[in-house]
């Protein structure tokens, strides 16, 4: 049941040594030699330039791994001063590799291997070099893999290893345009605006032709999808609703900030369009500049076709684990008041997405602001995940330190859009810090989660979560078939009756089991009546499994026939079990599997409520039907696992809530813990409005069964 929205008042290096004249001359010579050499086998194309790249470490943010594959001989990657080190490039698809060219800076490797891998985890050495002397090494190799890595085992100097360029030549197996795969399917999507919560950006990439994104009625508007990694895009398919664009562009970007137009038209006709394009990027955007109607822009589906197969995320390097869970934390300041109770630094490292750290409203709503975690021992950090509150940093740095005094920046940005940021980094230290330098608004800095992954440290294992079910789930773990004799009350071993008044200015009084009984035909009848009780003019029934049964993940379903009538509000929903132990709504999370308004029983609603999206701003979907849902029984269900929730009515998907999409577009996902079931029939309230003279009383909601499968 949608509850009243709750609004909180809250926000909220070391330097490479100077080169001697001789070293500088050697470096320039090596660079010039590298430029002159080129590939020995000119017939094979360069595969590595601009591809995703990772490294064992970086000296500082000024020498990132990406600099070795950017095609710029004046930029370079430089590692920490230790052995071994590695640099790995993802070619995007399996390739036959024929040559590798390494253009060393003065800090070179005397011993190293060139390796390939199909999965980024198991490596095969194609070439081993000893006695290396720097300069430019042009190596003939023969092997096949998607990932190519150079692993150095001995340095030629006391410093790290450094490459101006790392070039891989060969023949990729990624040929032709894959017109069956969809690189945009269920990927995080954002938009310049939405007409309402029922028409979100995610609906255009959910693979469901019956759901859509719709914008506000203004120009320009855009829809953007994050493909996860840089992809070579060969075709874009648009399925427009009647509100289409006459003028629009399709654009690609590697960083979500700078865009390249790969298609443009001023004579769009709507309908289904298959656009042949050429370009690469991680982000794809449809930018509408002129509408065909007085309404906004609306797309049923956006599909992105690419060259080759859709890549999967490679496994963490070197057995990375979560290092920051439960570790000691400090911050520039923190908030602890009625608006953000106990929002201390530790809250960002507790793996509880509904608790957070925020800077103090009296001293901390200033720049800079920071939060730091002590990993317990020196660690190599490869990944940092930040889940921002609306009080986020537009500019910040990720820093490491061995002593919490001297800090090295391993990541920086000045264009952070907020929400969830999953950062690939490379650094070493015992302490990791987010150092914010520019706030997004007048509040401070606030993080729901700050997670650090890597190797080393002194990690504490987080609590284990249940395994994901395999759908269709078949193990029945809870059921009530309501097969008791006529007049029998709900089974007290399964259900707790919940008497009293409701929320949302509802008009009924829920009685203590006087408004629910079996009908003797295999159904529970929940009845709303026009009668006085508890100071209200109507009575009805509400019950839950709170102290009897809770579940995390699975298929939860009920077969229900809803009543018809203005002011009636039947619902089948779930609440986070921690609500019963004191956590307030919406921090516990709410899952509305089915809500229907009796005034229009051709529409059903599914909605999620959490701290960052609740009440009228809940995350969900309205579905319009061609049949009257009150005329018969229908099965309302959710299939729920650690990746998201799939909502169905009679087996038809009406909404998919992706955890990744929610975290990157709405806020924290607070649904990875046990929930209990609720059935109720409300009368009146802010959403349905009051009954009128046409509303039939008594009104009956019939429940044939409730079942839960794992």
Residue numbers annotated as active site: 590, 595
The three-class DSSP label of residue 51 is coil
Q: What angle do CA 413, 417, 422 make, to 5 degrees?
A: 70
C-alpha–C-alpha distance, residues 619 and 628, integer Å:
25
**Distance between CA atoms of residues 659 and 667, nearest Å:** 10
H or E element, residue 664: helix 659-665
- Burial string for 209-244 (b: 16+ CB within 10 Å, else e) reads eebbbbbeeeebbbbbbbbbbbbbbbbbbbbbbebb
CA distance 510 to 514: 9
Cα 310-311-312 angle, rounded to 5 deg: 120
Beta bridge partners of 677: 574
End-to-end CA distance of the chain: 24
Between CA 499 and CA 536 the distance in angstroms is 13
d(Cα 469, Cα 450) in Å, to the nearest integer? Answer: 28
Go through 97-122 and write b for each residue having 16 or more CB atoms within 10 A of its CB, e for each that does not.
bbbbbbbbbbbbbbbbbbbbbeebee
| Helix H or strand E segment including 665 | helix 659-665
Label residues 569-589 b or e (16+ Cβ within 10 Å = b): bbbbbbbbbbbeeebebbbbb
Q: Any residues with CB less than 8 A from the CB of 154 and at least 6 apart, and which? A: 83, 109, 110, 111, 112, 130
CA dist., res. 229 & res. 589, Å (int) = 31
DSSP state, residue 613: B
């Amino acid at each position: 049941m949608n509850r009243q929205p709750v609004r909180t008042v809250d926000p909220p290096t070391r330097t490479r040594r100077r080169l001697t004249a001789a070293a500088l001359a050697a470096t320039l010579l090596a660079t010039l030699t590298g430029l002159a050499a080129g590939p020995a086998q000119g017939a094979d194309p360069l595969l590595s330039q601009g591809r995703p790249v990772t490294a064992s470490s970086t000296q500082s943010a000024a020498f990132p791994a990406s600099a070795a594959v950017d095609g710029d001989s004046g930029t370079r990657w430089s590692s920490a001063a230790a052995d071994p080190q590695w640099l790995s490039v993802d070619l995007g698809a399996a390739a036959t590799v024929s040559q590798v060219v390494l253009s060393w800076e003065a800090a070179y490797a005397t011993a190293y291997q060139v390796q390939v891998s199909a999965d980024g985890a198991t490596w095969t050495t194609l070439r081993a070099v000893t006695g290396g002397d720097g300069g430019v090494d042009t190596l003939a190799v023969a092997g096949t893999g998607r990932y190519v890595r150079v692993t150095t085992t001995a340095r030629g100097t006391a410093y790290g290893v450094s490459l101006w360029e790392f070039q891989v030549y060969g023949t990729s197996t990624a040929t032709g345009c894959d017109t069956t795969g969809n690189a945009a399917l269920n990927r995080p999507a954002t938009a310049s605006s939405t007409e309402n919560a029922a028409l979100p950006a995610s609906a255009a990439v959910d693979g469901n032709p019956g759901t859509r994104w719709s914008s506000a009625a203004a120009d320009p508007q855009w829809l953007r999808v994050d493909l996860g990694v840089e992809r070579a895009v060969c075709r874009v398919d648009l399925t427009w609703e009647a509100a289409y664009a006459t003028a629009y562009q399709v654009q690609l970007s590697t960083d979500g900030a700078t865009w390249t137009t790969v298609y443009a038209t001023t004579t769009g006709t709507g309908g289904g369009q298959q656009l042949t394009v050429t370009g690469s990027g991680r982000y794809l955007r449809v930018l509408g500049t002129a509408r065909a109607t007085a309404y906004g822009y609306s797309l049923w589906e956006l599909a992105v076709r690419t060259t080759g197969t859709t890549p999967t995320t490679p496994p963490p390097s070197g057995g990375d684990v979560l290092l920051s869970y439960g570790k000691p934390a400090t911050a520039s300041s923190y908030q602890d008041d009625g608006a953000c109770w106990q929002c201390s630094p530790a809250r960002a490292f507790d793996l509880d997405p509904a608790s957070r750290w925020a800077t103090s409203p009296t001293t901390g709503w200033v720049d800079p602001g920071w939060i730091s975690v002590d990993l317990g021992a020196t660690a190599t950090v490869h990944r940092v995940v930040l889940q921002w509150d609306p009080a986020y940093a537009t500019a910040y740095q990720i820093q490491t330190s061995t002593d919490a005094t001297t800090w090295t920046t391993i990541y920086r940005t000045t264009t952070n859009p907020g929400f969830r940021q999953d950062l690939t980094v490379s650094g070493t230290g015992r302490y990791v810090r987010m150092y914010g330098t520019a706030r997004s608004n007048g509040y401070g800095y606030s993080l729901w989660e700050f997670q650090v992954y890597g190797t080393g440290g002194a990690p504490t294992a987080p609590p284990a979560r249940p395994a994901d079910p395999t759908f269709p789930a078949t193990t029945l773990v809870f059921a009530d078939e309501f097969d008791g004799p006529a007049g029998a009350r709900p089974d007290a071993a399964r259900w707790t009756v919940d008497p009293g008044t409701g929320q949302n200015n509802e008009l009924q009084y829920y009685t203590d089991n006087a408004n629910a009984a079996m009908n003797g035909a295999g159904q529970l009848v929940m009845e709303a009546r026009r009668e006085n009780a508890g100071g209200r003019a109507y009575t009805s029934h509400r019950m839950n499994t709170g102290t009897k049964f809770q579940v995390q993940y699975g298929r939860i379903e009920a077969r229900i026939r809803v009543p018809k009538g203005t002011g009636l509000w039947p619902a089948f929903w779930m609440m986070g079990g921690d609500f019963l132990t004191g956590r307030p709504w919406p921090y516990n999370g709410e899952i509305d599997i089915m809500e229907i308004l009796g005034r229009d029983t051709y529409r059903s609603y599914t909605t999620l409520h959490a701290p960052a999206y609740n009440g009228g701003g809940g995350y969900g979907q309205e579905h319009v039907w061609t049949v009257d849902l009150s005329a018969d029984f229908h099965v309302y269900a959710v299939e729920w696992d650690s990746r998201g929730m799939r909502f169905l009515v009679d087996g038809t998907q009406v909404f998919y809530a992706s955890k990744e999409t929610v975290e990157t577009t709405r806020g924290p996902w607070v649904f990875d813990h046990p929930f209990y079931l609720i059935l109720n029939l409300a009368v009146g309230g802010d959403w349905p409005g009051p009954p009128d003279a046409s509303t039939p009383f008594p009104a009956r909601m019939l429940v044939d069964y409730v079942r839960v499968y794992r």
